[in-house]
Amino acid sequence: MKCSRANRGRTPRMTGIVMAVLIVGTLAACSANASSTGIGAPSSEVAAGTSAASPSSVPATVTPPPLPSAPESLVFPGRASRVVMPAMGIDLPVVSGDLAPPPDNFPLCNVAQYLTAYRQPGEPGSVYLYAHARTGMFLPLLNASMRADGAEMIGMEVLVYTSDAELYRYRVFEVERHVLDYRLANGTPPGEQRLILQTSEGPRGTPGKLVVAADFVDVTPTTPEEANPPAVPVVCE
Protein backbone atom coordinates (compact mmCIF):
# COMPACT_ATOMS: atom_id res chain seq x y z
CA MET A 1 0.00 0.00 0.00
CA LYS A 2 1.23 3.39 -0.90
CA CYS A 3 1.41 5.70 2.00
CA SER A 4 0.35 9.26 1.17
CA ARG A 5 -1.21 12.16 2.71
CA ALA A 6 -4.56 11.17 1.22
CA ASN A 7 -4.82 7.95 3.28
CA ARG A 8 -3.07 9.05 6.42
CA GLY A 9 -6.40 9.39 8.21
CA ARG A 10 -7.19 5.70 7.75
CA THR A 11 -3.76 4.36 8.61
CA PRO A 12 -4.09 4.22 12.40
CA ARG A 13 -7.30 2.19 12.23
CA MET A 14 -5.90 -0.26 9.71
CA THR A 15 -2.66 -0.67 11.69
CA GLY A 16 -4.53 -1.35 14.94
CA ILE A 17 -6.57 -4.10 13.35
CA VAL A 18 -3.45 -5.67 11.83
CA MET A 19 -1.58 -5.47 15.09
CA ALA A 20 -4.41 -7.12 16.96
CA VAL A 21 -4.47 -9.95 14.44
CA LEU A 22 -0.70 -10.33 14.66
CA ILE A 23 -0.72 -10.43 18.48
CA VAL A 24 -3.49 -13.02 18.60
CA GLY A 25 -1.68 -15.15 16.04
CA THR A 26 1.62 -14.89 17.90
CA LEU A 27 0.04 -15.90 21.20
CA ALA A 28 -1.63 -18.88 19.59
CA ALA A 29 1.62 -19.98 17.98
CA CYS A 30 3.54 -19.64 21.24
CA SER A 31 0.91 -21.67 23.10
CA ALA A 32 1.08 -24.47 20.54
CA ASN A 33 4.89 -24.47 20.62
CA ALA A 34 4.96 -24.65 24.42
CA SER A 35 2.64 -27.69 24.40
CA SER A 36 4.74 -29.55 21.85
CA THR A 37 8.10 -28.91 23.53
CA GLY A 38 7.04 -29.55 27.11
CA ILE A 39 7.72 -25.96 28.19
CA GLY A 40 5.90 -25.32 31.40
CA ALA A 41 5.90 -29.01 32.43
CA PRO A 42 6.78 -29.75 36.10
CA SER A 43 10.52 -30.08 36.75
CA SER A 44 9.94 -33.59 38.13
CA GLU A 45 8.97 -34.80 34.65
CA VAL A 46 11.87 -33.29 32.70
CA ALA A 47 15.06 -32.51 34.60
CA ALA A 48 16.95 -29.32 33.74
CA GLY A 49 19.59 -29.90 31.11
CA THR A 50 18.38 -33.40 30.24
CA SER A 51 16.03 -34.89 27.72
CA ALA A 52 13.06 -37.07 28.56
CA ALA A 53 13.74 -40.82 28.33
CA SER A 54 12.23 -42.53 25.37
CA PRO A 55 9.87 -45.48 26.02
CA SER A 56 12.45 -47.92 24.64
CA SER A 57 15.02 -46.89 27.30
CA VAL A 58 12.74 -47.67 30.25
CA PRO A 59 13.68 -51.11 31.70
CA ALA A 60 11.02 -53.79 31.41
CA THR A 61 9.38 -55.10 34.57
CA VAL A 62 10.84 -58.52 35.57
CA THR A 63 8.49 -60.93 37.32
CA PRO A 64 10.40 -63.14 39.83
CA PRO A 65 9.83 -66.89 39.55
CA PRO A 66 7.41 -68.41 42.04
CA LEU A 67 8.85 -69.85 45.24
CA PRO A 68 8.87 -73.67 45.47
CA SER A 69 5.96 -75.05 47.43
CA ALA A 70 6.68 -76.69 50.77
CA PRO A 71 6.24 -80.47 50.94
CA GLU A 72 3.02 -81.64 52.53
CA SER A 73 4.97 -83.71 55.02
CA LEU A 74 8.55 -84.61 55.83
CA VAL A 75 9.47 -88.15 54.94
CA PHE A 76 12.18 -89.87 56.98
CA PRO A 77 13.81 -93.18 55.98
CA GLY A 78 12.52 -96.20 57.85
CA ARG A 79 14.61 -97.64 60.66
CA ALA A 80 14.57 -101.14 62.14
CA SER A 81 11.96 -101.02 64.90
CA ARG A 82 11.15 -104.65 65.76
CA VAL A 83 12.82 -108.06 65.35
CA VAL A 84 10.94 -111.36 65.55
CA MET A 85 12.27 -114.90 65.25
CA PRO A 86 9.14 -117.05 65.66
CA ALA A 87 10.86 -120.44 66.04
CA MET A 88 13.05 -119.05 68.86
CA GLY A 89 10.29 -117.15 70.64
CA ILE A 90 12.14 -113.83 70.14
CA ASP A 91 10.12 -110.62 69.78
CA LEU A 92 11.91 -107.38 70.68
CA PRO A 93 11.62 -103.67 69.93
CA VAL A 94 14.71 -102.28 68.19
CA VAL A 95 16.38 -98.95 68.97
CA SER A 96 19.53 -97.19 67.83
CA GLY A 97 22.87 -98.38 69.18
CA ASP A 98 23.71 -94.72 69.75
CA LEU A 99 21.32 -94.73 72.71
CA ALA A 100 23.67 -96.90 74.76
CA PRO A 101 25.03 -94.83 77.67
CA PRO A 102 28.70 -93.83 77.86
CA PRO A 103 31.46 -94.37 78.75
CA ASP A 104 31.62 -97.85 77.20
CA ASN A 105 28.24 -97.91 75.41
CA PHE A 106 27.22 -101.15 77.08
CA PRO A 107 24.07 -102.49 75.34
CA LEU A 108 20.70 -101.71 76.89
CA CYS A 109 18.26 -104.28 78.19
CA ASN A 110 14.69 -105.09 77.08
CA VAL A 111 15.50 -104.13 73.48
CA ALA A 112 17.66 -105.08 70.54
CA GLN A 113 19.83 -102.39 68.99
CA TYR A 114 21.21 -101.68 65.53
CA LEU A 115 24.77 -100.63 64.77
CA THR A 116 24.51 -97.26 63.04
CA ALA A 117 27.70 -97.93 61.05
CA TYR A 118 25.77 -100.53 59.03
CA ARG A 119 22.66 -100.43 56.83
CA GLN A 120 18.95 -100.37 57.39
CA PRO A 121 16.43 -102.86 55.92
CA GLY A 122 15.90 -102.21 52.23
CA GLU A 123 19.42 -100.91 51.65
CA PRO A 124 22.21 -102.94 50.02
CA GLY A 125 24.57 -104.29 52.65
CA SER A 126 24.14 -105.66 56.16
CA VAL A 127 21.66 -104.79 58.89
CA TYR A 128 23.41 -105.43 62.20
CA LEU A 129 21.20 -106.14 65.25
CA TYR A 130 22.51 -107.14 68.67
CA ALA A 131 21.13 -107.82 72.15
CA HIS A 132 22.19 -109.43 75.40
CA ALA A 133 21.96 -113.19 75.88
CA ARG A 134 19.39 -112.77 78.62
CA THR A 135 15.85 -114.01 79.25
CA GLY A 136 13.41 -112.17 77.00
CA MET A 137 16.22 -111.08 74.71
CA PHE A 138 18.67 -113.14 72.56
CA LEU A 139 19.28 -115.94 75.08
CA PRO A 140 17.49 -118.52 72.84
CA LEU A 141 20.15 -117.94 70.15
CA LEU A 142 22.94 -118.73 72.58
CA ASN A 143 21.18 -121.84 73.87
CA ALA A 144 20.55 -123.14 70.34
CA SER A 145 24.18 -122.49 69.34
CA MET A 146 25.36 -124.92 72.01
CA ARG A 147 23.49 -127.75 70.32
CA ALA A 148 25.41 -128.99 67.28
CA ASP A 149 26.85 -125.50 66.79
CA GLY A 150 23.41 -124.09 66.09
CA ALA A 151 22.57 -126.32 63.14
CA GLU A 152 18.87 -126.21 64.05
CA MET A 153 18.75 -122.48 63.26
CA ILE A 154 19.74 -122.91 59.61
CA GLY A 155 16.72 -122.09 57.44
CA MET A 156 14.80 -120.36 60.25
CA GLU A 157 12.90 -117.20 59.42
CA VAL A 158 13.71 -113.81 60.94
CA LEU A 159 11.35 -110.85 60.59
CA VAL A 160 12.51 -107.25 60.86
CA TYR A 161 9.91 -104.48 60.94
CA THR A 162 10.75 -100.87 60.12
CA SER A 163 9.34 -97.64 61.49
CA ASP A 164 7.68 -96.81 58.16
CA ALA A 165 5.49 -99.94 58.40
CA GLU A 166 7.43 -102.39 56.22
CA LEU A 167 8.12 -106.04 57.06
CA TYR A 168 11.40 -107.55 55.83
CA ARG A 169 11.80 -111.30 55.84
CA TYR A 170 15.18 -113.05 56.10
CA ARG A 171 16.31 -116.69 56.24
CA VAL A 172 19.25 -117.93 58.33
CA PHE A 173 22.08 -119.43 56.28
CA GLU A 174 25.01 -119.45 58.73
CA VAL A 175 25.74 -119.63 62.47
CA GLU A 176 29.23 -118.87 63.80
CA ARG A 177 30.47 -119.10 67.39
CA HIS A 178 33.35 -117.34 69.13
CA VAL A 179 33.51 -114.63 66.47
CA LEU A 180 36.06 -111.85 66.96
CA ASP A 181 35.50 -109.75 63.81
CA TYR A 182 32.85 -108.41 61.42
CA ARG A 183 33.65 -110.71 58.53
CA LEU A 184 30.08 -111.91 57.98
CA ALA A 185 28.69 -108.38 58.12
CA ASN A 186 31.32 -107.00 55.78
CA GLY A 187 31.14 -109.90 53.35
CA THR A 188 27.72 -109.15 51.87
CA PRO A 189 27.99 -109.36 48.05
CA PRO A 190 27.52 -106.00 46.27
CA GLY A 191 23.86 -105.11 45.75
CA GLU A 192 22.60 -107.81 48.13
CA GLN A 193 20.98 -107.50 51.56
CA ARG A 194 21.89 -109.43 54.69
CA LEU A 195 20.84 -109.51 58.34
CA ILE A 196 23.26 -110.12 61.21
CA LEU A 197 22.10 -111.08 64.72
CA GLN A 198 24.77 -110.92 67.40
CA THR A 199 24.80 -111.82 71.10
CA SER A 200 27.33 -112.52 73.79
CA GLU A 201 28.65 -115.94 74.74
CA GLY A 202 29.46 -115.25 78.37
CA PRO A 203 29.59 -112.59 81.09
CA ARG A 204 30.71 -109.04 80.44
CA GLY A 205 34.22 -108.98 78.99
CA THR A 206 33.97 -112.33 77.18
CA PRO A 207 35.68 -111.63 73.82
CA GLY A 208 33.91 -114.07 71.50
CA LYS A 209 30.42 -113.37 70.11
CA LEU A 210 27.73 -115.53 68.57
CA VAL A 211 26.80 -114.35 65.07
CA VAL A 212 23.78 -115.52 63.08
CA ALA A 213 23.63 -114.46 59.39
CA ALA A 214 20.45 -114.43 57.29
CA ASP A 215 19.76 -113.62 53.64
CA PHE A 216 17.02 -111.23 52.52
CA VAL A 217 13.88 -112.94 51.16
CA ASP A 218 11.20 -110.32 50.56
CA VAL A 219 9.39 -107.28 51.93
CA THR A 220 5.68 -106.64 52.46
CA PRO A 221 3.71 -103.75 53.94
CA THR A 222 2.37 -103.97 57.48
CA THR A 223 0.60 -101.66 59.92
CA PRO A 224 2.30 -98.94 61.97
CA GLU A 225 1.00 -100.61 65.13
CA GLU A 226 2.63 -103.93 64.24
CA ALA A 227 5.87 -102.29 63.20
CA ASN A 228 6.33 -99.96 66.17
CA PRO A 229 5.90 -101.73 69.53
CA PRO A 230 6.55 -99.65 72.66
CA ALA A 231 10.25 -99.65 73.49
CA VAL A 232 11.34 -99.23 77.11
CA PRO A 233 15.12 -99.64 77.11
CA VAL A 234 16.82 -99.75 80.50
CA VAL A 235 20.41 -99.81 81.65
CA CYS A 236 21.37 -103.40 82.38
CA GLU A 237 22.36 -104.25 85.94
Locate the domains of the chain by residue range: 80-227
pLDDT at site 60: 61
Pick from 60, 56, 63, 81: nearest CA to 162: 81
| Helices and strands: H and E segment counts in the chain | 4, 8
> Position 22: which residue type?
L
State the pLDDT confidence band at 71, using cuts at 50, 70 and 90.
Answer: low
> What average pLDDT does the structure give for the chain?
81
pLDDT at site 68: 65
pLDDT at site 70: 56
Pick from 83, 78, 143: nearest CA to 111: 83
121: pLDDT strictly greater than 90: yes
pLDDT at site 66: 73
116: pLDDT strictly greater than 60: yes
State the pLDDT confidence band at 10, using cuts at 50, 70 and 90.
Answer: very low
Q: Phi first, then psi: give them for residue 114, nearest 5 degrees.
A: -110, 140
Rounded to whole angstroms, the Cα distance separating 2 from 6 reads: 10
Better-predicted residue by pLDDT, 15 or 217: 217
pLDDT tens, 16-67? 444 444 444 554 444 444 444 443 444 444 444 444 445 455 556 667 777 6
pLDDT at site 21: 42
Q: How far is CA 51 from the centre of its chain?
A: 55
Better-predicted residue by pLDDT, 217 or 4: 217
Superfamily of segment(s) 80-227: Sortase (2.40.260.10)
State the pLDDT confidence band at 13, using cuts at 50, 70 and 90.
Answer: very low
pLDDT at site 40: 43
pLDDT at site 106: 84
Rounded to whole angstroms, the Cα distance separating 16 from 22 reads: 10
The CA-atom distances, in angstroms, between 140 and each of 6, 133, 143, 174 are 150, 8, 5, 16
Pick from 199, 212, 202: nearest CA to 153: 212
**Averaged over 226-234, what is the pLDDT?**
96
pLDDT tens, 161-187? 999 999 999 999 999 999 999 999 999
